């Protein structure tokens, strides 16, 4: 079987499941567990690339298809994947068309092979003429759902197109050097010696020129370095940590921020997550870094089930959110999320803030964090909390940066709000 045909068939099956409401990560994981011969790298590229430009590919199929009713989900997903392959520039057009036709047979859709062939050939012939039509369709032009586009436009009138464009790019790979185990400058030199070009970003961050497998990183297994976005690394800095403090990470798994807290200062850390399996992964991450914390599987919104009553000096509320600031890492999110989800997240975030605030000592500080760019989950939640909580006061971030960090080439999108409790 031709390798591209096999990859297209496998990718189409996964993308069809995403279109039906399932997550991309679960689909790729299941395919790998099935033991197929498809290259994981090729499969990942086809799935992620297709879903990044999902709105565009849907519009192309709709414009060129003469079928009524719609083709079956597998054939439609195959066409989306093949269109991405055509536009990626990695393959000759004739090869993609041929391999997509073969993939339709692999998927048990031999009757649709002619349709696949005809539509892809029509796209190759009429591609230039299609662009004007696609440019008039917001979903096809910006590769995001219409409701998402309108939210970003309303929240960032001057930057909305840049925010959307960033969400369609390949994400950067940033490292966090464990300064308890290694020196940042020395580790940068070790990367260069290993043929991995990188540059400094932030106090302990190194931005790789090209992503690589974590196992290739010198000292990764020995806990000298972790993979963590440069934006996420700001959380530990903004907490203003000092030795001897009691610190709570209320939504801790998978543990990147917990580990950074422990690498930054000799504090007593309690790390919570409601999912026992995620807590197990958090413990493994800390063990690799030779760090210690009290890790508990508990619902942070029910302090009486886990809190001993001794207040914390610092609380990190890295709350569940839409993930709109990291959509380029999870392109399925753009199409799985619904407008009603944002209000539901905001309500949950408010409950978490109220609960964790109870555990904060007078004079202590709570850092509210999301990886979202939607104001409803960010400033609106924090402003409402401060309005109803007399002891709460917004404090400036350590570097004087604005609360909203928009996604950019070197980092993802995050929101940070530091809230101080009156003594």
Which residue in the block uniquely carries the two structure tokens 């490292």? Answer: 175
What's the pTM value of the predicted model, to 2 decimals?
A: 0.94
Residue pLDDT, tens place only, 157-173 = 999 999 999 999 999 99
138/261 same-domain check: no
CATH value at residue 373: 3.40.50.150
CATH value at residue 54: 1.10.940.10
Residue 70 lies in a domain: yes
237/369 same-domain check: yes
378/356 same-domain check: yes
Residue 310 lies in a domain: yes
Sequence-ordered list of residues with C-beta below 8 angstroms from that of 406, at least 6 positions apart, any chain = 156, 159, 162, 163, 166, 325, 373, 413
Q: What is the pLDDT of residue 40?
A: 82
8/57 same-domain check: yes
What is the distance between the terminal CA atoms of the chain, rounded to a whole angstrom? 70
Q: How many domains does one find in the chain? A: 3
CB-CB contact of 88 with 173 (8 Å):
no
239/223 same-domain check: no
Residue 208 lies in a domain: yes
197/242 same-domain check: no
Q: What is the pLDDT of residue 35?
A: 43
* Pairwise CA distance, residues 208 & 191, whole Å: 9
55/201 same-domain check: no
Residues carrying an active site annotation: 371
Residue whose C-alpha is closest to residue 231's, from 421, 411, 423:
411
Residue 93 lies in a domain: yes
CB-CB contact of 238 with 231 (8 Å):
no
* Pairwise CA distance, residues 301 & 339, whole Å: 24
Which stretches in the chain have pLDDT values below 70?
1-2, 27, 29-38, 67-70
219/359 same-domain check: no
Q: What is the pLDDT of residue 33?
A: 42
345/298 same-domain check: yes
Q: CB atoms < 10 A from the CB of 63, how many?
A: 16
Q: What is the pLDDT of residue 29?
A: 60
Residue 165 lies in a domain: no
Q: What is the pLDDT of residue 32?
A: 43
* Pairwise CA distance, residues 203 & 185, whole Å: 11
Residue 54 domain boundaries: 3-143
Sequence-ordered list of residues with C-beta below 8 angstroms from that of 93, at least 6 positions apart, any chain = 86, 124
Q: What is the pLDDT of residue 68?
A: 62
Sequence-ordered list of residues with C-beta below 8 angstroms from that of 254, at least 6 positions apart, any chain = 278, 281, 282, 285
240/389 same-domain check: yes
295/180 same-domain check: no
Residue 162 lies in a domain: no
Residue 411 lies in a domain: yes
CATH value at residue 188: 3.30.70.1170
Residue 377 lies in a domain: yes
73/110 same-domain check: yes
């Amino acid at each position: 079987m031709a390798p591209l045909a096999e990859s297209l068939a496998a990718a189409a099956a996964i993308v069809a499941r995403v279109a039906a409401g399932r997550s991309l990560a679960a689909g790729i994981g299941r395919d790998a567990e099935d033991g197929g011969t498809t290259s994981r790298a090729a499969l990942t590229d086809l799935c992620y690339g297709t879903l990044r430009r999902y709105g565009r590919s849907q519009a192309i199929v709709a414009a060129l298809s003469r079928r009524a009713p719609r083709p079956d989900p597998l054939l439609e997903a195959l066409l989306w994947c093949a269109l991405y392959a055509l536009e990626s520039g990695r393959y000759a057009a004739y090869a993609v068309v041929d391999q997509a036709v073969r993939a339709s047979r692999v998927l048990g859709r031999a009757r649709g092979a002619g349709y696949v062939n005809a539509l892809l050939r029509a796209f190759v012939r009429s591609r230039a003429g299609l662009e004007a039509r696609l440019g008039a369709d917001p979903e096809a032009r910006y590769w995001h759902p219409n409701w998402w586009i309108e939210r970003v436009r309303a929240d960032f009138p001057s930057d909305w197109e840049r925010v959307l464009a960033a969400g369609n790019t390949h994400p950067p790979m940033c490292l966090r050097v464990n300064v308890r185990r290694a020196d940042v400058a020395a580790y940068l030199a070790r990367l260069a010696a290993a043929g991995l070009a990188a540059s400094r970003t932030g106090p302990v961050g190194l931005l790789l020129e090209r992503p690589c497998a974590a196992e290739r990183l010198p000292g990764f297994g020995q806990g000298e370095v972790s993979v963590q976005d440069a934006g996420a690394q700001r959380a530990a800095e903004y907490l203003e940590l000092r030795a001897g403090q009691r610190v709570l990470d209320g939504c801790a798994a998978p543990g990147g921020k917990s580990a950074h807290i422990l690498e930054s200062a000799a504090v007593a850390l309690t790390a919570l997550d409601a999912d026992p399996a995620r807590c197990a992964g958090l413990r493994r991450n800390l063990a690799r870094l030779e760090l210690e914390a009290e890790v508990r599987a508990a619902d942070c919104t029910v302090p009486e089930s886990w809190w001993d009553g001794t207040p914390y000096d610092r609380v990190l509320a890295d709350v569940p959110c839409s993930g709109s600031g990291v959509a380029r890492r999870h392109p399925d999110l753009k199409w799985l999320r619904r407008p009603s989800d944002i209000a539901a997240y905001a309500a949950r975030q408010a409950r978490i803030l109220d609960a964790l605030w109870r555990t904060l000592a007078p004079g202590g500080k709570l850092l509210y964090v999301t990886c979202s760019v939607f104001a409803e989950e960010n400033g609106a939640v924090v402003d409402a909390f401060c309005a109803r909580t007399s002891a709460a006061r917004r404090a400036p971030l350590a570097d004087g940066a604005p609360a909203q960090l928009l996604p950019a080439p070197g980092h993802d999108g995050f929101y940070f709000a530091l809230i101080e409790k009156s003594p």
